[in-house]
Structure 1
Amino acid sequence: MTITLAILCVLGIIVLLFINQASFGKLPQGTRLERIKQSPNYNGKQFLNEIKTTMMTSENGTLSVYKEYLFGDKSLTTPDTAISAIKTDLKSLPRDKDWIVWFGHSSYLLNLSGKTILVDPVFRKASPVSFVNKMFKGTDIYKPNDMPDIDYLVISHDHWDHLDYETVKELEPRVKKVVIGLGVGEHFEYWGYPVEKLVELDWWDVSEQSNGFRITATPARHFSGRSLFMNKTLWASYIFESPKRTIWIGGDTGYGPHFAKIGQKFPGIDLAILENGQYDKNWADIHTLPEQLSKEMVELGASRYMTVHHSKLCLSNHPYFEPLENAKKAAQESGKPVLMPKIGEVVYLD
């Protein structure tokens, strides 16, 4: 018994030391926590989704889900050869044109009316350790130094595959504003970002910016957390209204009534960027399933779409190429055009 207790104590100390690394961030406190407590999306202990959401939807229990995920068929989840990608000189792209460049998974760079918007950049690590969630061959070609100066760094939520500590630390000197959900600012302040840079929003909060820009945080159906504590910060999607066009940045989200609400509130969305990948029937509430993708397109009512959250990381057991097939099928079913660029390809939005 003494030996067992000693081993457990040592393991506990190792875990505590590990999760106390700076990369895990900090939980909201002080005035930030007081603001969180006033949110209608916070129940006094954690943030909630608009509708009842179950993390693991399998009837066989959580252990069976983890067993299937860890030991299920992974023969097609990772490509054998390098993904085809283009290395673009981003700093030389025109600022007087609207464009988008996707970097794989959920990272992409937008230029709207001369403002650069970098979304969920993950260029170093997508997990606490480098040997987990390794990037597919050929996709790891962009680094923080390749980015131009950033007007808006947008983070949908604080999961490791969307908020890369090393990347945002390197980018800080060249970032003017950070757009985040409630509570996520605690991480950024801890990592050296001045509070003046942070635009921290609750769902449906509106932030009026200069030069005709307006940002609205909109709901998503997901969860948050970088360590043992879940849902202490808010996950979100965002509407960016520029002088020329309206873009919806979807982040991670399962299907829900928020798609129709956003479409009704913003009937002129030019481009909507949807999650499409890392889905599974075992967590059907928190990620979009393939059969739901065209329904989301119809309810949002955007003029055109692009899908992300695929082609760079394996976080589920579906074939790595399946999301591309989903996008084509959803385009046919919805009658909506879907952009399908290569990683690094410049798509001009005009």
Structure 2
Amino acid sequence: MKNPAVKFWCMIVGIVIGIIIVLGGALTVFLNQPRFGRLPRSGERLERIKCSPHYQNGKFRNLHPTALMTSNKSKLWGILTFLFAGRDGLLPDIQIPVIKTDLKVLIQDSSDIMVWFGHSSYFLQLSGKHILVDPVFCMAAPVSFVNKPFKGTDIYKPEDVPDIDYLIITHDHWDHLDYETIKQLKNRIRKVVCPLGVGEHFEYWGFDREKLVELDWQEESVLDNGFVIHCLPARHFSGRGLTSNRTLWASFLIETPSRKVFMGGDGGYDTHFAEVGKQYPGIDLAVLENGQYNEDWKYIHTMPVYLGQIAKDLKAEQIVTVHHSKYALARHRWDEPLKNEINMVKEDSLNLIVPVIGQVVRLDHVEEK
């Protein structure tokens, strides 16, 4: 007969093992939900990835060495600190201004326009084509209680958007690629433009490969007569689950019959902005990241000190900033990015457009080329 103490500890060990098995199974089921997408594992897409000059040792790399965390904190510790530390000033204490524009009526006028939906989601009508960038209308995180939108800022839903010629996705993070939004828009999207590897998510979600325009940095595609999209570098990272950097992140520049628009996506400052400005002179509008920055991850998001420099590097005629005013994903005050914009105008004399969510920005007053 076993010693009672031994029996007790055997029981405890058995319980612990059982809990680990149950939790592991639950995590596996959770991570295998369709909304997590799917990473490239085989086939033509994986072969393209392996041939990319930006892919080394099983992961995509930035142009220059880029530490994800620049403090001595781990990524997990940074997440836990954000979730459980004090939240004074992170959320607005009043409902911020928003406008509910009827986009389907708006597009009856063929003018070049932009409508920002908060954070990094926006709609462009350029020379009659409808372009939707990084739409997140449902969930900006794997679970609904994380990354909740500011009160009153989630007034736009997938059904509010007209049929889309080009859906442009800059990278596969949850706050830029929302499965539920994509699922609801699926039958109204003509073409998807995304960085290399991100197309795997779309195929997994039922999109025909013929609809996908999947590009590496410095590749381009003719979308239609007079419409060319260029895939350009960004200094960031990617991933929707436990594995990072198996898909590429990017900025994009679209050339249309009327203008050039740069879509910066997410990312910290680096030499690529000046290179883009030289390679594509005459950018009419640049949409730049401004928000969710922190010294602890200063290389992968745009720190305020560099915002004006990026605009100068690109030599853009007009600037709109995004990545703010809807979610609190960093420790700065919710309205600090708006103050950064004001300072940028004062210090750098830039032509900055500062719309509220849903406001129609008309681009046609810029001289057509």
TM over 0.5: yes
The correspondence for 1:336, drawn from 350, 360, 364, is: 350
SS state at 1:215 partner: strand
In structure 2, the residue matched to 1:4 is 16
Aligned to 1:345: 359
Q: Secondary structure at the match of 2:55?
A: coil
Residue 67 of structure 1 deviates from its aligned partner by 4.8
How far the C-alpha of 1:95 sits from its partner, in A, is 4.4
The alignment status of 1:82 with 2:95, answered yes or no, reads: yes
| 140, 144, 160: which one aligns with 1:126 | 140
- CA–CA distance in structure 1, aligned partners of residues 129 and 318 of structure 2: 21
* Separation in 1, partners of 2:203, 2:277: 33
Q: TM-score, normalised by structure 1?
A: 0.98
* Whole-angstrom distance in 2 between the partners of 1:173 and 1:106: 23
Give yes or no for contact 1:91–1:146 (8 Å, CA) kept in 2. Answer: yes
Which residue of 2 is the match for residue 257 of structure 1? 271
Counterpart in the other structure of 2:63:
50
The answer to whether the aligner puts 1:139 opposite 2:120 as a matched pair is no
Match of 1:220 among 234, 239, 242: 234
* SS state at 1:127 partner: coil
Secondary structure in 1 matching 2:213: strand
> How far off its partner does 1:3 sit?
2.1
Shift of 1:267: 1.2
| Partner SS for 1:179 | strand
Bigger CA radius of gyration: 2
The equivalent of 1:151 in structure 2 is 165
Residue identity matched to 1:104:
G
Alignment RMSD (CA, Å): 1.2
CA distance in 2, matches of 1:189, 1:258: 30
Return the match for 2:38 from 26, 40, 50.
Answer: 26
CA contact (8 A) 1:278 1:318 kept: yes
Aligned CA distance change for structure 1 residues 63 and 27 (closer, same or farther; 3 Å): closer
CA shift for structure 1 position 62? 4.5
Instruction: Give how far 1:70 is off.
Output: 3.0
1:81, 1:241 → 2: CA distance?
39
One-letter amino acid of the counterpart of residue 51, structure 1: H
1:288 to 283, 294, 302: 302
Structure 1, unpaired ranges of 5+: none
Q: After the TM superposition, which segments of 4 or more aligned residues of structure 1 sit over 4 Å from their partners?
A: 60-64
Aligned residue among 241, 247, 250 for 1:236: 250
What is the distance in 1 between the residues matched to 2:288 and 2:213? 23
In 1, distance between residues paired with 2:208 and 2:73? 46
Work out the CA distance in 2 between the residues paired with 1:266 and 1:276: 22
Residue aligning to 2:288: 274
What is the count of residue pairs matched by the alignment?
A: 350
| Structure 1 counterpart of 2:53, one-letter code | P
1:41-61: per-residue Cα shift (whole Å, max 9, x none)? 000401000001011111355
Distance 1:235 1:138 in 2: 30
> Which amino acid is 1:10 matched to?
V
Q: Does 1:72 align with 2:85?
A: yes
Aligned-pair identity (%): 56
Does the aligned pair in 2 maintain the 1:95–1:113 contact within 8 Å? no
Quote how far apart the aligned CAs of 1:286 are. 0.3
Structure 1 pair 268/113, CA: closer, same or farther in 2 (3 Å)?
A: same
Q: 1: CA distance between counterparts of 2:51 and 2:45? A: 10
Q: By how many angstroms is 1:71 displaced?
A: 3.6
Contact 1:297 1:334 in 2 (8 A): no
Higher alpha-carbon deviation: 53-62 or 40-49? 53-62
Q: Which runs of 5+ in 2 are unaligned?
A: 1-12, 365-369
**CA drift at 1:263:** 0.7
